[in-house]
Chains A and B, each alone.
Chain A
């Protein structure tokens, strides 16, 4: 079982890297404490300043990166499997933009709305954005180009509506803008608690569906012949994607390109199909976002930058690489 051992190695190495990333993530930043004292401060007496910073600010932030990264990665993997389109992801499919618009609209129009309601609203927006792109792009078979153009058009439209909301409510512009770029800065335990139930639910459901998702990747006809209830699988997977991506947006804003990049990286590492495809995609998503978040603290040091900017700078060249690969393949 060479494939299994390869997956095992990737899993182990990924775990180690993730743990290292978490340690770095809780140690560095504006109050730089070094890796050793960062870890030490976790167990330090609760009165020390380092302990306070690490447990109330850095630890929830790092965990949030893990949860959201894993969720976005898996959401992208499911979308690519369902559409058979290598460019599918929450970002390119208008899901992120729809969820962001819903959240900004809620913040502006219903300022007294309790925060937990933001996630369901984001789901609504995500459904809307996703359907609009599907509607625009699906005519006569959704090629990568059609998906990208439709996704960008819908994205631009939703972004200008979002912009309108911001322009007319200038008092909270800065915060909203920061959030809109996709950011983990200022995360605390309530954020973690808000996103955790949705993410765990979505991830567990995705792992249960892993077999069906793997079969769907072979194409609709094959899936039908193998006895898959295609419409049911599609619906369940659609809901999983909406929950994973929508809850991520509700808490951290639209963080792009994790869902686009990570499934490809997984395939690059694992080679052919593997039973561990989804778990490793989740792991890589977490890894990517944790490290991107560390990077985000330094590109404009001492100011925080939204992590979404880092993922966009990484993701756009990757997108081009995929385009080139597609072209050579066809």
Chain B
């Protein structure tokens, strides 16, 4: 498979170069119809049941069909009212009471009321629920903190949690928290995912397998009907083909533009390029349990040795920014902007390694061939190997296909490797550190702390931040956590990915969101 990939990569560069020549000759663009937005997606969706999907690719569609009780404020990762007009949280952080917006209906005509909201969470969480078998619901653990959901009257929903859980509101804004129509689920059963019904600005019209998903304007939308008549989502898995379709006018909007092609679109005034840093972090897990990496100085040395600027500029071609710590800057309210990324300083790295007595150590490095959010893992791995060789480490790379890779890394690196690539995209500053940096999150306790990092101070801060419902207080705790983790260096902090998209010149009112969702209700294309 490898030579094929290398060839395909070469072919991609060749295409990019030739396409530049081609487009500067200025061929007329084929037109898509007015008021219809054609979106180039990276794959066929798995389902349009928001509780059954896990991929950003599917989120891009469902976010336009459905709404949750709350949503992220435009351009931020802070929640604001959506289907719920307002809410109160009890002092102990255990009871959330939501007041629903009046007069909202699902696309199938049934009313959105408290019973419908309760149904949504019961279907996901209760294994004995009659429609639980319309799942599986892989991300239902986002709501595992819920003890009960009550509907005291048609306009009020009360959630009682088992333990205080600060990310609860943020999770309600995530696709797993979107509200589906109980009537449609009951009538469609297992086929609901292909016949969805929500309350959002667009309603489902058609899904032709492997060709398109069509959404049309919801004229009765409570927030005002969108300007677009229809949105067509086309799955085009090959990035070069997606670029060619965009260039030939077959698409109005394209997501995940390959790094090779971004500058080409940027230089062409028929297109507009959008970039938006998101809640993503790309890092190396360092095995703090054994070997050279069990010494903090060596882990810091790795951070100094890697030229992150060169990685983001040359390997990722500007599609990512250098990461400073474990929390991405997209969580602006919780991000500690006092942290500066470790500078590229090989001398300092060699000094620290010598101090720790690990000169010339042999290291095993797990690299993946690809995977969700992993950007360009093989080239990144090779560049990192070269940087570490410069400070005297003999790094042996082992490359695995994504699923195999996860099967090796998630159970822990002990006895296998000194470092491994990893990337996460989350919706709350709690998620990643809580699942991957706490002592109680070591793999044998069911977490993702595959490098066995342990610092009781960090554990305490994360527990406290999770049980507080005051955002300012949480922010303070996360900032302290970042300072400690930065210094302990359980990971090598490498990059924060910038999501990108390209639109044709007729498209207006579009912007990317830090959540990586694609929100189209405000877009026009006369």
* Genuine A/B complex: no
Residues of A at the B interface (CB closer than 8 Å) are none
Residues of B at the A interface (CB closer than 8 Å) are none
